[in-house]
Amino acid sequence: MHESKRKLKVLFASAEAAPFAKMGGLGDVSGALPASLLQNYKDELDIRTILPFHEVIKKLDPPMKKIGDYAFSASDQEIECQLFVSDIDGVPVYLVDNDYINHNSPVYHGDWYLDGLKYATFSLALLEAMRYLDWKIDILHANDWHTALAPYALKTTYQNDLFYQGIKTILSIHNLPYNGWGSQDAMARLGFVPSHDQDLPDWARFTPLPLGVASADKVIAVSPGYAREILTPEYGCGMEGYLQKHSNKVMGILNGIDVNIWDPETDEQISHNFSAEAFSERVNNKLDLQKALDFVVDENIPLLTIVSRLSDQKGIPAILETLPQLLDRDWQFLLLGSGSPELEQAADQLSAEHPDRIASILKYDEVISHVLYASGDIFLMPSLYEPCGLSQMFAMRYGNLPVATETGGLADSIIDFSRDPENATGFLYEDKTAEGFLRSLTLALDTFADPGTWHKLQKNAMEADFAWKKSAAKYYDVYKSL
């Protein structure tokens, strides 16, 4: 009998993974991508995820078992860790705990020294966990600044350690501006030293994300569009020179979505299920929502929706500036999200001035988000930059057509009506100003007035394929190529 084929061993390291800990897109991806890879390549891959054992995971208390305790030295201190294992959709999920992770803290403190200690320690602890398990991996797939120091440690602290020889590394960039700046004291305390890489700008030689970028064998942005954008001064955050020089190791793969959770045909969070084939039920979701909001109940009034963090980056100011200019037209607007206190206040005020047609729900709520995707006609996404964006994919899957800036993953996932009316799935605009948004939204409102065209666009959008399977195949190809 010949020996069965050896599986490729991959450790997927992240600060978040849904449903255990999710603050944003990173959590969605880290929950779904390893599961899709395992599902589609179970004979080829042994993929496991590793997370810090956050307070939110302790409260959630998923089924798990303790594997044991291990310790390692970093600089002059001994760091004692506890290791547990649980699972997400069949993927083993290791949870690492130690004193820097375990202080009843949120996933991100917002205090750079504490966050620096938490994630710099985690970057070392996850490597030491592999030694403790005696699991020799082929590939370490790190994500964002929180785990970027692990590839750097492999190239520095651990470069002569036989256990870690031959490991290839990938760093996924979900959001380049968040680079871990402020972790320097914590890094020094743990024995990290600055990089001597002359291609890195001075400030970047002791900053987590740039160190990960410089050390990784492959850098993967979360969309092809964003991979191109980070090579430019506008989006490169001071790293564009380095990324241009090393562009041979930079690529983009568009994120997917979990099409089982986000499926209008089976979604239990919405009052009326529907599909591209059985479409007539969809409008009842909107009528129910109009009723609940005390809006005029009329299917011919377009309902505009947004589910977003309230920040300048998400283009919220453009919406608040534009809607008052369109009061002579028929439409209703519902916002769901929280964030900047100033923007929350401005949204609240706009709702108070026009309670018959504008409403704001100032929190994040998973259930209500499903209702908005299923009820709205036009989904607003005027982001100044959007590495990938998942909301536009959720919206399209539910027949809610996006009006979005032509940037990053938005440009990669939406087919623009002005350019290709036959296959269009939404409306894109280049000019990232309130005027650009106004023109694009006006075109969408005009198009909504023609039900035949609108339904065709909705059908196009609902039939677009954003399943993880496609993206997982691309990641698998990268794993193999390394």
The mean pLDDT of the chain is 96
* Residue 354: pLDDT over 80: yes
Q: What is the mean pLDDT of residues 195-220?
A: 98
pLDDT at position 105 = 82
Question: pLDDT band for position 364 (50/70/90)?
Answer: confident
Question: pLDDT band for position 328 (50/70/90)?
Answer: very high
Place of tokens 């985690």: 122
**Rounded to whole angstroms, how far apart are CA atoms 375 and 264?**
11
Place of tokens 């001064």: 233
* Residue 1: pLDDT over 50: no
pLDDT tens-digit profile of 122-153?
999 999 999 999 999 999 999 999 999 999 99
Q: What is the mean pLDDT of residues 357-370?
A: 95
Q: Are 248 and 280 in contact (CB under 8 A)?
A: no
pLDDT tens-digit profile of 222-272?
999 999 999 999 999 999 999 999 999 999 999 999 898 899 999 999 999
Count Cβ atoms within 10 A of the Cβ of residue 90 and give its class: 0-12 exposed, 13-18 middle, 19 or more buried.
Answer: exposed
Q: What is the mean pLDDT of residues 18-24?
A: 91
Contacts 24+ apart (CB under 8 A), 152-161: 152/123, 152/192, 152/195, 152/208, 152/211, 152/212, 152/214, 152/215, 153/123, 153/124, 153/127, 153/192, 154/127, 154/215, 155/215, 156/192, 156/193, 157/124, 157/191, 157/192, 158/127
Q: What is the mean pLDDT of residues 192-220?
A: 97
Range with the poorest average pLDDT among 90-94, 109-113, 414-418 = 109-113
Question: Which of 370, 376, 402 lies closest to 389, judged by CA?
Answer: 402
Crossing angle of helices 144-155 and 112-133, rounded to 10°: 50
Place of tokens 């996850």: 126
Render 330-358 in DSSP notation, one character per residue: --EEEEE--B-HHHHHHHHHHHHH-TTTE
Question: pLDDT band for position 104 (50/70/90)?
Answer: confident
**Rounded to whole angstroms, how far apart are CA atoms 149 and 209?**
7
Question: Which of 406, 466, 22, 31 lies closest to 254, judged by CA?
Answer: 466
Question: Which of 347, 410, 334 lies closest to 375, judged by CA?
Answer: 334
Q: Are 473 and 407 in contact (CB under 8 A)?
A: no
- Mark out the alpha helices in 246-388 (DSSP H runs): 282-292, 316-322, 341-353, 366-375
Phi, psi (rounded to 5 degrees) for 94: -85, 140
Render 159-192 in DSSP notation, one character per residue: TT-GGGTT-EEEEEES-TT---TT-HHHHHHTT-
Exposed e or buried b for every residue in 404-425, given b needs 16+ CB within 10 A? bbbbbbbbbbbbbbeeeeeebb
Question: Which of 14, 34, 9, 13 lies closest to 136, judged by CA?
Answer: 9
| Helix (H) / strand (E) containing 395 | helix 391-397
Count Cα atoms within 13 angstroms, Cβ side, for 339: 21
Question: pLDDT band for position 201 (50/70/90)?
Answer: very high
pLDDT at position 102 = 75
pLDDT at position 23 = 87
pLDDT tens-digit profile of 3-12?
467 999 999 9
Instruction: Count the residues in the chain.
Output: 482
Count Cα atoms within 13 angstroms, Cβ side, for 283: 10
Question: Which of 207, 246, 223, 182 lies closest to 409, judged by CA?
Answer: 223
**Rounded to whole angstroms, how far apart are CA atoms 294 and 169?**
54
Lookup: tokens for 251:
């690529």
Model pTM greater than 0.75? yes
Ordered structural domains, the chain, with CATH: 8-256+468-481 (3.40.50.2000), 282-463 (3.40.50.2000)
Q: Specify the 3-state DSSP secondary structure of 364.
A: coil
pLDDT tens-digit profile of 437-458?
999 999 999 999 999 999 999 9
pLDDT tens-digit profile of 146-190?
999 999 999 999 999 999 999 999 999 999 999 999 999 999 999
Sign of the C-alpha dihedral computed for residues 372, 374, 375 and 379 taken in this order: positive
pLDDT at position 4 = 60
Count Cβ atoms within 10 A of the Cβ of residue 76 and give its class: 0-12 exposed, 13-18 middle, 19 or more buried.
Answer: exposed
Taking CA atoms, 426 is separated from 34, 50, 405, 422, 475, in Å, by 30, 37, 11, 11, 27
Question: pLDDT band for position 402 (50/70/90)?
Answer: very high
